[in-house]
């Protein structure tokens, strides 16, 4: 650590302390969500007898997907946006695709976590589908018995995965097909 002194205006110090307080509240909120929150612990003991999925709602519309800024093989949903006021502290953004709106709504990720309402919805059905895609090539050793030698041969690397789509009942009674990647299943 350096013993250098930096002079900071009162306003900047106040802003830094306000940001730290906001970040502390956000971390507490995330911790509560990860731990299931007090309400969810009570719900787990009073099991309704069916599985539920917590669906995120923005302005009373369910979030059905996140904008993928990565690839199919390595999806990415959160990206950094430079913060001109504080270059060392970028803002993390997420694109939300909500029911009934085709264009993604881009918001700060922390704002999404704070303002979204996560509502448990009854899972009515699951649709499972096997998907495969090529993910490059690998070198495989092959023994040529005629010549009794080992040879290197390029073989396609195929990745198999199971894709799960849930059919959930929304609070208003409507049914919604949603990818299992975008909900928390209880």
* pLDDT tens digits along 141-173: 777 777 767 677 888 888 888 888 999 999 999
CA distance 138 to 21: 50
Rounded distance, CA 19 to CA 21, Å? 5
Two tokens, residue 68? 């993928």
Q: Which residues of the chain have pLDDT under 50?
A: 39-45
| Exposure b/e, 2-19, CB count within 10 A at least 16 = b | eeeeeeeeeeeeeeeeee
| Sign of the four-CA dihedral 59, 182, 66, 177 | negative
Structure tokens at 32: 């509560």
> What is the torsional sign of CA 164, 167, 52, 65?
positive
Distance CA 19, CA 28 (A): 14
CB of 86 closer than 8 Å to CB of 75: no
Q: What is the pLDDT of residue 120?
A: 92
pLDDT digits (tens, 9 = 90+) for 87-107: 889 999 999 999 988 899 999
Q: What is the structure's pLDDT at 131? A: 83
């Amino acid at each position: 650590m350096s013993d250098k002194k930096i002079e900071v205006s009162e306003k900047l110090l106040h802003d830094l302390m306000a940001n730290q307080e906001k970040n502390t509240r956000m971390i507490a909120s995330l911790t509560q969500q990860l731990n299931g929150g007090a309400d969810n612990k009570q719900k787990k003991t009073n099991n309704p007898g069916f599985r539920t999925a917590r669906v995120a709602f923005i302005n009373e519309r369910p979030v059905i997907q996140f904008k993928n800024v990565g690839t199919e093989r390595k999806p990415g949903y959160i990206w950094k946006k430079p913060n001109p006021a504080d270059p060392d502290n970028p803002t993390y953004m997420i694109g939300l695709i909500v029911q009934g709106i085709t264009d993604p709504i881009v918001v700060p990720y922390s704002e999404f976590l704070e303002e979204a309402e996560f509502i448990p919805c009854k899972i009515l059905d699951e649709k499972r589908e096997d998907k495969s895609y090529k993910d490059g090539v690998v070198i495989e050793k092959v023994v040529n018995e005629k010549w009794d030698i080992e040879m290197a041969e390029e073989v396609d690397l195929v990745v198999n995965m199971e894709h799960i789509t849930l059919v959930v009942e929304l609070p208003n009674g409507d049914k919604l097909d949603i990818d299992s990647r975008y909900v928390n299943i209880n």
